[in-house]
Amino acid sequence: MKGLIQTLATASVAFLLILSCTKDPFITPGPGAGTTVTVASAASTAEYVFSTNYEWTARSSGSWLTVSPSSGMPGDNIILKLSAGENANYDPRTATVTITAGEISRTLTPEFCKFLYC
């Protein structure tokens, strides 16, 4: 009986130690980054810098806006490239970019210049 109690106590402590090491996921914007990214009306590329402690994925809701890379490992100052196709007619278009790490997500909204170049 004494051995069973010691085994249960040891198992409980080990479980609590493992549980306390679990990290909450985060996605932190890099210096100067927020939730918007400026994109020119001409075909252009913009960058968004962030850090996360989990494997992550990124996806665009618009076919004219691509995201590269679309996934990666945890790290600091990860550079996400957003490439927009040309909008020669200046037609209104919308899209969002969603970055997901663990159970959390951050949504970016591209802001468009009214001119060919910002």
Domains and CATH numbers, the chain: 25-112 (2.60.40.10)
What's the confidence (pLDDT) of residue 10? Answer: 59
State mean pLDDT over 98-116: 84
How far is CA 93 from its chain centroid? 22
pLDDT for 35-92, tens place per residue? 777 777 677 888 999 999 999 999 999 888 899 999 999 999 999 999 988 877 777 7
- The rounded distance, in Å, linking the Cα atoms of 36 and 24 is 24
pTM of this structure: 0.73
pLDDT for 3-22, tens place per residue? 656 665 555 544 444 444 55
What's the confidence (pLDDT) of residue 72? Answer: 97
